[in-house]
């Protein structure tokens, strides 16, 4: 069974969109509220505390979502 021309065209378009999509930033580079976990928009985070451990320094922030 061969795919229809419409399906081939749709798959090609979706592949092009995926390849041209902006990169997604994962992990600790995304600032999140230290209380509820929501992503904090740029310029909205308020520093709450800094904690040092064997694995490094960890900072905790609060967003507008939790009174920041």
pLDDT in tens, 18-56: 999 887 766 667 788 888 989 888 788 888 899 888 888
11 domain-assigned:
no
43 domain-assigned:
yes
What is the C-alpha separation between 3 and 10, in angstroms, rounded?
Answer: 11
48 domain-assigned:
yes
65 domain-assigned:
yes
Regarding pTM above 0.75, the answer is no
Q: Which of 4-8, 14-18, 54-58 has the lowest mean pLDDT?
A: 54-58
14 domain-assigned:
no
Which pLDDT does position 53 carry in this prediction? Answer: 84
Q: Biggest alpha carbon distance in the chain?
A: 61
Which pLDDT does position 28 carry in this prediction? Answer: 64
6 domain-assigned:
no
**How many structural domains are present in the chain?**
1
Residue-by-residue DSSP string for 23-64: PPP-GGGS-B-TTT-PBPPTT--EEEEEEEETTEEEEEEE-G
Which pLDDT does position 61 carry in this prediction? Answer: 87
C-alpha to C-alpha distances, 45 to 1, 15, 37, 51, nearest whole angstrom: 55, 36, 12, 17
51 domain-assigned:
yes
- Residue span of the structural domain in which 32 resides: 24-68
């Amino acid at each position: 069974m061969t795919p229809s021309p419409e399906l081939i065209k749709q798959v090609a378009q979706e592949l092009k969109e995926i390849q041209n999509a902006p990169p997604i930033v994962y992990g600790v580079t995304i600032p999140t509220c230290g209380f509820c976990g929501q992503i904090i928009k740029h310029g909205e985070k308020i520093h709450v505390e800094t904690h040092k451990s064997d694995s490094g320094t960890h900072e905790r922030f609060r967003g507008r979502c939790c009174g920041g």
